[in-house]
Amino acid sequence: MSGTLAVYQKEVSVYFRSPIAYFVVAVFLLGTGYFFLYNIFLTGDATMAETFQNMGVLLLTLIPVVSMRLFSAEYTAGTMELLLSLPLAPWQIVLGKYLGAVTMLLLMTAGTLIDLVPLYLFGNPETTTIVAGYIGFVLLGMACLAVGQLFSALTQNQIVAALITAAVLLGFWFVGHLQSFQTSYALRSLCGYLSFALHFADFIQGLVRTEAVMFYLVVGAMALTLNASYLQWRR
Amino acid sequence: MSASTAAIVLESVSKRYGSKTIIHDLSFSVATGEIVGFLGPNGAGKTTTMRMIAGVTAATAGRVTVAGYDMATQNTDAARQIGYLPEHPPLYDTLDVSAYLRFVARVKGVDRSAIPAELERVTAACRLEAVVRREVYKLSRGYRQRLGLAQALLGKPDVLLLDEPTAGLDPGQIQETREIIRAFGEDHAVLLSTHILAEATLICRRVAIINHGRLLAIDSPSGLEQAMEQTNRVTLQVTAPAQALREELLSVDGVSGLEIHPFPGDHDVLSVECQVDARDGIEAAIARAVASRWDLHRLDRQRPTLENIFLRYVKEAPVRGETA
């Protein structure tokens, strides 16, 4: 476990010693703040529902920027050679890096808590709905990061990794819209089940359903397992 | 050398990428307290072999053992015993020197309380004290190379794998690095890949020559010289008629062939290169035969250098079955 922890701490150090982390956090918080104010003034309701929806889409565009360097940068810098020669199992490398990226996600999420101050000062929002929304947002982000990390491991080019990640995440986000075009019940159900957006909608409405929680966790776990298996296969 | 005392053992190791075989049935070992030079032209398979020993990539066939651990099944245990400096130092540019070394030390399992002393030891050994707080991207090439070596030394590994460790260093740094390797090699196993043949002669107890993924020879530099004694040459400068000189020299027992050229700048003098056998006293026999009839100005016996040996092996080795 100490190996995983060392990789995790290195990842966090590398994030915050490069401009990427500050850029991503700044863009995300500016975007979230804008959507929050826009939704509050538009609807006049003390709710985060619309803002969570916007945060989800914003997250999909920023996750590839966070995840693209996780392995691609190691390949191009030659440091993957070091990681593979150190007493680290592939899953330790994968987990350490993933936790580092999740720390970034949590910091981004924590930054949005400031939006709640005016919400509670001037309104009477439903705390449980907001908590459920945040749980869903973090779970969505964790699943997206795992997918992004997997694609970063598959290519040495960070831009390619980011573009593939963005395409796949957008696919998962919008796949729910295909439901209405399907005549087959099975296909309709599958499109709905695979939709990141539909599961996230449950959380936004205040529902923490086991199915939705498991969906994000399973997607994340599958991507991480594939990631570790790929490293092992590559070796 | 018995395999039981060897810290690195390769037994019939092969490596394939797709249909291309990069390493063919490679077997050799490196004992504790021994520095083995790993020589070969570019693309010979040196780096691939080093990567297999370091656990970066797995052998397709055969067995690699490091410090008694099988790299196929006990990779993580073996990795604790290995210090590896790849061809390009694997550095995180955004970290500072201290943070980078602390990361490697932690992954190598150095006890948290022992890390400061361990960092002090390797930074002193690699003369990095002046840059400990500096970000890696600000380091000169020489410092980067030494930082790569420092991370390899962390945790006092049993085995050190060094791929071109003196590349990019100035002469003073090269000397210092060789001293570090030599000192480490006294009680550890070191496999040193290098293009600098003088370096192999200076610090390696044995030299392995590889080309096209095959081991061509492995012996001490002097052992390789003895094996190549058949290629000894005697050169002489003499004032004599060419045809008579040729007949006289070929009549000397042990002279197998010769080439005669006019000596540059003095057409009365001939420059002769004789191929001779390994026996002692051959040059005295040639000197007697020539000096009794003509003016012998100079006579030298040239023993093969590691360069000659290397080039001979590399040029003569057949290119067999690069693709399997």
- Nearest neighbour of A86 by CB, restricted to B51, B79, B94: B79
pLDDT computed for residue B256 by the predictor: 81
In chain B, CATH 3.30.70.260 sits at 229-300
| Chain A residue nearest residue B103, CA to CA | A6
- A10–B92: do the CB atoms touch at under 8 Å? yes
User: How big is the CA angle at B156 (ends B154 and B157), to the nearest 5 degrees?
Assistant: 100
CA distance B164 to chain A (A): 15
- Nearest neighbour of A78 by CB, restricted to B58, B88, B106: B88
With beta carbons less than 8 A apart as the criterion, state whether B128 and B97 touch: yes
With beta carbons less than 8 A apart as the criterion, state whether B7 and B188 touch: yes
- A88–B76: do the CB atoms touch at under 8 Å? yes
- A6–B107: do the CB atoms touch at under 8 Å? yes
Is A232 an 8 Å CB contact of chain B?
Answer: no
**Chain A residues in contact with B18 (beta carbon < 8 A):** none
- B109–A87: do the CB atoms touch at under 8 Å? yes
Q: Which of B92, B93, B102 to mutate to test the interface with A (most CBs of A within 10 A)?
A: B92
Output the 3-class SS for B286-305.
Answer: HHHHHHCCCEEEEEEEECCC
pLDDT computed for residue B229 by the predictor: 58
| Chain A residue nearest residue B57, CA to CA | A235
With beta carbons less than 8 A apart as the criterion, state whether A165 and A64 touch: yes
- Say which amino acid occupies B215: L
In chain B, CATH 3.40.50.300 sits at 3-227
Ordered per-residue pLDDT tens for chain B, 324 residues: 444 468 899 999 999 988 888 898 899 999 998 999 998 888 888 999 999 999 999 999 999 999 889 998 888 889 999 999 998 899 999 999 999 999 999 999 898 999 999 999 999 988 889 899 999 999 988 889 999 999 999 988 999 999 988 887 888 888 888 888 888 888 889 999 987 777 888 888 898 988 888 888 888 877 776 666 555 778 888 998 888 888 888 888 888 888 888 888 777 888 898 887 767 778 888 888 888 888 888 888 776 666 677 777 766 665 544 433
- Nearest neighbour of A13 by CB, restricted to B90, B91, B95: B95
| Chain B residue nearest residue A234, CA to CA | B57
| Chain A residue nearest residue B78, CA to CA | A87
With beta carbons less than 8 A apart as the criterion, state whether A87 and A169 touch: no
The CA radius of gyration of chain A, in Å to the nearest whole number, is 19
CA distance A47 to chain B (A): 41
Q: Which two tokens stand for residue B89?
A: 């130092």
CA distance B218 to chain A (A): 26
**Chain B residues in contact with A85 (beta carbon < 8 A):** 54-56, 79, 82, 84, 86
CA distance A25 to chain B (A): 19
pLDDT computed for residue A146 by the predictor: 97
Range B229-300: architecture per CATH:
2-Layer Sandwich (3.30)
- Nearest neighbour of B90 by CB, restricted to A9, A13, A81: A81
| Chain A residue nearest residue B84, CA to CA | A85
- Say which amino acid occupies A86: L
Q: What is the ipTM of this complex?
A: 0.85
pLDDT computed for residue B1 by the predictor: 45
**Chain A residues in contact with B17 (beta carbon < 8 A):** none
Is A81 an 8 Å CB contact of chain B?
Answer: yes
pLDDT computed for residue A43 by the predictor: 77
CA distance A102 to chain B (A): 20
Output the 3-class SS for chain A.
Answer: CHHHHHHHHHHHHHHHCCHHHHHHHHHHHHHHHHHHHHHHHHHCCCCCHHHHHHHHHHHHHHHHHHHCHHHHHHHHHCHHHHHHHCCCCHHHHHHHHHHHHHHHHHHHHHHHHHHHHHHHHHCCCCHHHHHHHHHHHHHHHHHHHHHHHHHHHHCCCHHHHHHHHHHHHHHHHHHHHHHHHCCCHHHHHHHHHHCHHHHHHHHHCCCCCHHHHHHHHHHHHHHHHHHHHHHHHHC
Question: What is the average pLDDT across A133-151?
Answer: 96
User: Which distant-in-sequence residues (6+ apart) come within 8 Å of A65 by Cβ?
Assistant: A20, A23, A24, A162
Domain ranges of chain A: 2-234
- A87–B77: do the CB atoms touch at under 8 Å? yes
Residue-wise pLDDT tens digits, A64-123: 999 999 999 999 999 999 999 999 999 999 999 999 999 999 999 999 998 888 888 888
pLDDT computed for residue B2 by the predictor: 44
pLDDT computed for residue B3 by the predictor: 44
CA distance A232 to chain B (A): 9
Question: What is the average pLDDT across A1-19?
Answer: 89
- Nearest neighbour of A85 by CB, restricted to B58, B84, B92: B84
Q: A-B interface: how many C-beta pairs under 8 angstroms?
A: 81
pLDDT computed for residue B140 by the predictor: 87
The topology (CATH level 3) of B3-227 is Rossmann fold (3.40.50)
With beta carbons less than 8 A apart as the criterion, state whether B182 and B35 touch: yes
| Predicted model pTM | 0.81
CA distance B227 to chain A (A): 36
- B106–A6: do the CB atoms touch at under 8 Å? yes
